[in-house]
Amino acid sequence: MSEPSLDQLERWMMAVVTHPKGSASGIESPQACSQIPVSVDEIAQVVLPSKNLTSIERLDIYADMYRWRLVDILTEEYPTLSHLLGKNAFSALAEEYIALHPSEHYNLAALSQHFPRFIEEEGSDVTHREFAAEVARLERAMEEVYDAPQKDPVTSEEFEKIPDEVWGEVHMDLIPALELLSFSYPVDEYVTSVRENRHMDIPDPNPSWVVVYRNDFTVWRSGITREQHHLLTELRSGQSLGEALMSCAKLPNVDIGALSGNLKVWFQNWTGNGYFCRLR
């Protein structure tokens, strides 16, 4: 056999050590054979054995590290989902995900960007799929908020300077490190109980809304009402406060009195938590 080129060797090794069933299966895979057509028996034509290890055992060191490292990263990023599904089922799903969506970016935080969708639509045998997908979505949001661009928040003093007569026309930009989520289960409550080592049964469906935000470089989660979620979502989409409130008022079964009565407190809290980075 002629010596493979550098490109053939790298493509071959990548196919071998990232094969879900280990390097012996990887060597026989079409992706590897299209680069270097060797069988497991002929492997010493590509990788030499050492005094103590066979060529396959040497390749398996890389194959094992590939799986362990990436499964480990997903487990760290999704501790509640891992708890919900159980360690073994979670690891099996993580391996399936890595095979379907291999990492393409040097930034490991990007590895699991498709994981919530995978849990919702693609993963095989996901128990409590709908709830599991919502847990994944919340844990992914926390990861994204952790790294999101930093913008200094507007202070309460700046807020108070807005004259009463122009409030309706004010546009409020939300900080990039903030995500608004809506769920059909009380996901936030479940995540909190698991992270605090308190047992909680898988809850029955019950709509919930959550804001995940970063304040002073710490990530926070907070349960919010449907109206608050709607209002903040409208503001984020570029509506003025007046337009956002009008849209809120059209929600089914909304209590207009409570909405207008609470507004001041809401905005005080939100400004205190640094939700807004620009008023215009």
Partner 1 sequence: MPCANQRRRLPKGWRRLLTKALGNMSIRNKWDFPDLGLGLGLRTVHYNHILEHNPAVDWFEILSENYMETEGRPRKILDQISEKYPIVMHGVSMSLGSTDPIDFNYLKSLKALAERVNAVWLGDHLCWTGVARKNGHDLYPVPYNEESLRHVIERIRTIQDYLERPLVIENPSTYLTFKSSTMSEEEYIFRMAEESDCGLLLDVNNVYVTCRNHDLDPDSYLDSIPYDRVVQIHLAGHTDKGTHCIDTHNDHVIDEVWRLYGEVHKRTGGRSTLLEWDADIPEFNVVHEEALKAKRYRNEVEVVDV
**Contacting residues toward partner 1, per CB under 8 A:** 3-7, 9-11, 13-14, 17-18, 44-53, 55, 58-59, 61-62, 65-66, 69-70, 102-110, 145-150, 177, 214, 217-219
In whole angstroms, how close is the CB of 99 to partner 1 at the nearest point? Answer: 11
Tell the smallest beta-carbon distance from residue 36 to partner 1 (Å): 10
Helix (H, G, I), strand (E, B) or coil at 199: coil
Q: What is the 3-state secondary structure of 65-113?
A: HHHHHHHHHHHHHCHHHHHHHCHHHHHHHHHHHHHHCCCCCCCHHHCCC
Nearer to partner 1, 179 or 227 (CB): 179
The residue among 53 and 202 lying less far from partner 1, judged by its C-beta, is: 53
> Helix, strand or coil for residue 210?
strand
CA distances (Å), 86 to each of 138, 201, 242, 250, in order? 18, 14, 47, 43
CB of 68 to partner 1, least distance (A): 10
Q: Which H or E element spans position 213? A: strand 208-215
Cβ closer to partner 1: 45 or 225?
A: 45
- 113 alpha carbon, distance to own chain's centre: 5
For residue 163, the minimal CB distance to partner 1 (Å) is 33
The residue among 75 and 193 lying less far from partner 1, judged by its C-beta, is: 75
Q: How far is the CB of 145 from partner 1 (least distance, A)?
A: 8
Q: How far is the CB of 149 from partner 1 (least distance, A)?
A: 5
Start-to-end CA distance of the chain, whole Å, equals 70
Handedness of CA 133, 238, 211, 263 (dihedral sign): negative
- Residue 225 backbone dihedrals phi, psi, to 5 degrees: -85, 170
In the complex with partner 1, the residue whose CB is nearer, 106 or 250, is 106
Measured from the CB atom, the residue of 6 and 265 that comes closer to partner 1 is: 6
